[in-house]
Every structure is written in structure tokens, then in C-alpha cells.
Amino acid sequence: ATPTALLVGTGRGAQLGILVKGPEALESTDGIDTVVLDKTGTVTTGAMALRSVRTAEGQDETEVLRLAGAVEHASEHPVARAVSSAAAARVSGLPTADAFKALPGLGAQGVVDGRLVLVGRPSLLAERGIALPAELARAAQDAETTGHTAVAVAWDGTARAVLEVADEVRRTSRDAIARLRALGLRPVLLTGDNRAVAESVAAEVGIDEVVADVLPEDKAELVKRLQYEGRSVAMVGDGVNDAAALAQADLGLAMGSGTDAAIQASDLTLVRGDLYAAVDAIRLARKTLSTIR
Ligand code: ADP
Ligand code: MG
């Protein structure tokens, strides 16, 4: 291999807004045939907003936002940021949560005003033996069938509300994914979010292979499984929970807007905030390798 070609690849990458970790980063990209795309923050903008609040009977919406907002204020998850910023806008003087704990892939918990508050996927409540009353279960289902994320709120062992949170698919994602296909790649959507949300986003961007409800620690396992099946995998992600999968992939691409953990685990960083950069990166990797031969 000529190191010169790899260095030229690195320089060309910089012009395209692709930061290549080191000249060797492009070396293992031969025969990439699959591109695994994280959903939140990668295919979508990750800029989530609170769309609606459905309270259980007798619950006060402001109180729900006050307690949920206090817990989510301590979390860096995009869903949490949507909840805490909406709460801060509507409740003056959000309290601080004690004993905050992130529950990766599920939600978060904390103690506010002496109450143990849970905020997260409806399955988090189920896991703690807390039932969702019918009207909240319906609200969660309605949110999810429209591709939005349902966030359940409980304290003192009782479900209090379901919040609907959503972000937007990046304008460029559908076209960029079509271009990845045109390069002969099979796109796979990977997410910790639930199947209904995942299917809805996948349909919107033209992906038919969907892996949903994946716990953060299982994202790397999926990449491994695809590799075991003989596929050569590029992975695009942004979150802390994508880091292990990005490291496992034959080519790991981090969104420039992503977390440090994702960037450190990746071979390439896409400075521009869209998936066209992933198309350019794969073309660049192929071109660099063909120059070497
Ligand atoms: P993704 O793969 O979509 O980036 P994660 O694996 O981080 O998602 O989380 C999976 C799901 O768990 C999220 O879609 C969300 O429903 C829920 N979740 C995780 N953390 C939180 C939180 N702090 N607050 C509310 N919901 C959360
Ligand atoms: Mg993400």
C-alpha cells in the first residue's frame, strides 16, 4: 500500500468536511456493503421538542412537568433535553433532582421533593411493576404510531402522565440514503427507540431493514452479527450508546454534532450535519483504496 494515497485521501477528506482519524482509518473499508444508521441524531436532527402532555385523571400538568423536568434536567439524552427545556419554559424555578440516575436505553430517575420520579419509555414503568392506566396507554400508542416517542412519567409507584416528544427527519436523509443504495450499500436503521417509531422513520427515508428496541450495549452485537453473516459494515452514529458499535464496525462514522464518545470511537467524523457526508466518505474510502492498488 502506498501511504501517499492514504494521505491524499485524508487531505481530500478534510476538503469534504470529513475528518479522518489517521491514514490507516480508510484501510479496512474494502468491500463495505452495509451501512447501519442510528436513528436519533443521525437520520433525524436529534433536536427533539415536547409536542403534548396527557395526564392521568386527577394529575396536574404543571406538577408533572415540574417533577419530570427536574429529573431530565440532569440527563443529556435528546429526549430529556426536550422535556427539561419545555418544563423550564412553563414552570418557574425548576427544583433540582437528587440521586439522579441515567437508565441507559430506558430513561432516568431522580428524587424530587422526596418523591422517586421515573421518566422514560413505557416499558421502564412496566419493568418496575407500575401499570399504565388505559388512557395513558392509548396516548402512548397514539404517539408511537405517528412516529413520535412516548415518555411515561411516574412517581411514588404510580403512572402520572405520558408526554409526546418528537424530532424531525433531516431534510437530506431520504436522498442521501438513496445515494448510499446507488453505491451498492444496504441501509439498516438501528435504534433503541420502539418499533412503531422506527418503522415510521424508516418508511419516511426509504429503509426497509429495521432493528428497533435495541439496548445500548446490544448495538455493537448487531454490527458483529452482520459481520458474522459476512457483511462488511459501515456504521453512522452520534450518541454515547453508539460508541461500541462505531468501534466494532469496519468503518465507523461519527456525526460532527455527536458526543465525544462517538467521535473518539470512530474512524471518520462528518463535520457537516447530514448524511450526504456519509456518501462522500464511502466514495472517498473506495477511491483511496483503488488508488493504492
Ligand atoms: P436511540 O437509539 O434512539 O438514540 P437510546 O438507546 O438512547 O435511543 O434510548 C432508547 C429510548 O429510551 C429512547 O428512544 C427513549 O424513548 C428512552 N429514553 C432514554 N433515555 C431517556 C431519558 N433520559 N428520558 C426519557 N426517555 C429516555
Ligand atoms: Mg443517536
pLDDT single digits (tens) 15-32: 888 888 877 777 767 789
- Ligand 1 atom showing the smallest separation from residue 194 Cα: 14
Res. 49: pLDDT tops 80: yes
18-20/209-211 β-pairing: unpaired
Clarify whether residues 284 and 220 are in a common domain: yes
Res. 217: pLDDT tops 60: yes
Clarify whether residues 185 and 280 are in a common domain: yes
Nearest-CA neighbor of 190 among 181, 200, 180, 202? 202
**Cα(20) to centroid(ligand 2), Å:** 21
- Tell which of 166, 199, 214 closes a domain: 166
251-255/233-237 β-pairing: parallel
Clarify whether residues 175 and 285 are in a common domain: yes
Active site residue 38: yes
Q: Give the pLDDT confidence of 60-74 residue by residue, as tens digits.
A: 999 999 999 999 999
Residue nearest to atom 1 of ligand 1 (CA): 192
DSSP H/E element including 250:
none
- In the block, which residue shows the cell 453508539? 242
Clarify whether residues 255 and 277 are in a common domain: yes
Residue nearest to atom 17 of ligand 1 (CA): 106
Ligand having the closest approach to the CA of 262: 2
Clarify whether residues 187 and 275 are in a common domain: yes
Clarify whether residues 149 and 205 are in a common domain: no
Domain containing 96 equals 49-166
Clarify whether residues 178 and 278 are in a common domain: yes
**Cα dihedral 30, 32, 38, 39 in deg (nearest 10):** 140
Residue nearest to atom 22 of ligand 1 (CA): 107
Helix axes 276-292, 3-16, angle to 10 degrees: 160
Q: Give the pLDDT confidence of 236-274 residue by residue, as tens digits.
A: 999 888 999 999 999 999 999 888 999 999 999 999 889
**pTM for the whole thing?**
0.81
Res. 181: pLDDT tops 80: yes
**pLDDT at residue number 42:** 94
Clarify whether residues 71 and 54 are in a common domain: yes
**Cα dihedral 162, 194, 240, 28 in deg (nearest 10):** -170
Question: Which residues, in sequence order, are CB contacts of 115 under 8 Å at separation 6+?
Answer: 67, 155, 156
Clarify whether residues 81 and 156 are in a common domain: yes
Give the span between the Cα atoms of 275 and 43, in whole angstroms: 7
Res. 115: pLDDT tops 70: yes
Res. 153: pLDDT tops 80: yes
Residue 3: pLDDT band by 50, 70, 90 thresholds? Answer: low
Residue nearest to atom 7 of ligand 1 (CA): 105
- Tell which of 166, 192, 210 closes a domain: 166
Residue-wise DSSP of 182-195: HTTPEEEEE-SS-H
Q: Give the pLDDT confidence of 117-146 residue by residue, as tens digits.
A: 999 999 999 999 999 999 999 999 999 888
Ligand having the closest approach to the CA of 236: 2
Q: What is the CATH number of the domain that holds 62?
A: 3.40.1110.10
Clarify whether residues 87 and 224 are in a common domain: no
Res. 224: pLDDT tops 80: yes
CB atoms within 10 A of CB 260: 10
Clarify whether residues 185 and 153 are in a common domain: no
**pLDDT at residue number 22:** 75
As for how many domains the chain has, the answer is 2
Clarify whether residues 162 and 173 are in a common domain: no
- Ligand 1 atom showing the smallest separation from residue 191 Cα: 2
- In the block, which residue shows the cell 386527577? 58
Residues 71, 117: contact at Cβ < 8 Å?
yes
**pLDDT at residue number 292:** 59
Quick check: ipTM above 0.85?
Answer: yes
Res. 278: pLDDT tops 60: yes
> 216 CB under 6 A from ligand 1?
yes
**Cα(188) to centroid(ligand 1), Å:** 19
Question: Which residues, in sequence order, are CB contacts of 58 under 8 Å at separation 6+?
Answer: none
DSSP H/E element including 21:
none
Q: What is the CATH number of the domain that holds 37?
A: 3.40.50.1000
CB atoms within 10 A of CB 241: 24
Mean predicted confidence (pLDDT) in 202-231:
95
- Tell which of 166, 195, 224 closes a domain: 166
